Amino acid sequence: MLTHNQIWKGVDLLAARAGLTASALAKRAGMDATTFNVSKRYSQDGTRPRWPSTESIAKALAAVRVDFEEFAALAAGTAQTRSVPLIGFAQAGADGFFDDAGFPAGQGWEEVIFPGVEDAHAYALEISGDSMVPVYRAGDRVVVAPGETPRKGDRVVVRTVGGEVMAKEVARLSGDGVKLLSLNPDYPGRILKTSEIAWMARIVWASQ
């Protein structure tokens, strides 16, 4: 049985896995932003532990597409780990590192360890520059899963046919293309036609 501290640790890890704060996770799940705040975890006098509701946990899991078994492993500290290839974000636009489907290819990849990544083709990108601040900063690493289908609200890495690589949030998907929101308000969003996209991979983990 998971303890009070483990449950709340699991919530924090679930948020971090998606590159979110606990407040942002609650908002993404359609709940009040304070649902998972630290102040909600104990009674006002600090003597009685408060537990998140099963409904709030279920909504959070659905929002980031994680099942309860995986959440329990995160909370208990027993999540399995595996190594995934790592490449600098700037290099992702160069030829030879990916195949036509956006799967890692070629040689010279460094390997890094991440927990709970099931996609056999998953790989990590190391962020550079400030175009993704404040969500991701230079040196942060994100794991992407090219085998998963992105949906509205997901954070994704996109490579255009011209070799441009960007991390954005999906605002709208259609058969004709995708509307992307910028993670940094100082940078514009993008609207890309399907013909302009080489590949698009969902971000499933962030190490910050």
Residue ranges per domain, the chain? 4-76, 81-207
Contacts from 52-57 at CB under 8 Å and sequence distance 24+?
52/7, 52/8, 52/11, 56/26, 56/29, 56/31, 57/7, 57/11
- Residue 198, both tokens: 């080489």
- Residue 132, both tokens: 């993704």
Beta bridge partners of 113: 83
At 187, is the secondary structure helix, strand, or coil? Answer: coil
- Residue 148, both tokens: 């998963």
- Predicted local confidence at residue 110, as pLDDT: 77
Q: Decide: 50 and 34 in contact? Cβ < 8 Å.
A: no
d(CA 115, CA 181): 28
- Predicted local confidence at residue 38, as pLDDT: 95
* Vertex 51 angle, CA 45 and 52, to 5°: 125
Q: What is the DSSP letter of 126?
A: E
Q: Each residue's pLDDT tens digit in the chain (208 positions)?
A: 899 999 999 999 999 878 788 999 999 999 999 999 999 999 999 899 999 999 999 999 999 988 898 899 989 988 878 788 888 876 777 776 777 777 777 666 777 777 667 788 888 888 888 888 888 888 888 999 998 899 999 999 999 999 888 899 999 999 999 999 998 989 999 999 999 999 999 998 887 6
**Domain 4-76 coded CATH 1.10.260:** yes
Q: Decide: 50 and 43 in contact? Cβ < 8 Å.
A: yes
- Predicted local confidence at residue 85, as pLDDT: 86
Q: What is the DSSP letter of 49?
A: B
- Predicted local confidence at residue 7, as pLDDT: 96
Write out the E strands in the chain.
81-88, 110-115, 123-126, 141-145, 155-160, 165-173, 177-182, 190-193, 197-207
d(CA 23, CA 152): 19
Domain 81-207 -> CATH class: mainly beta
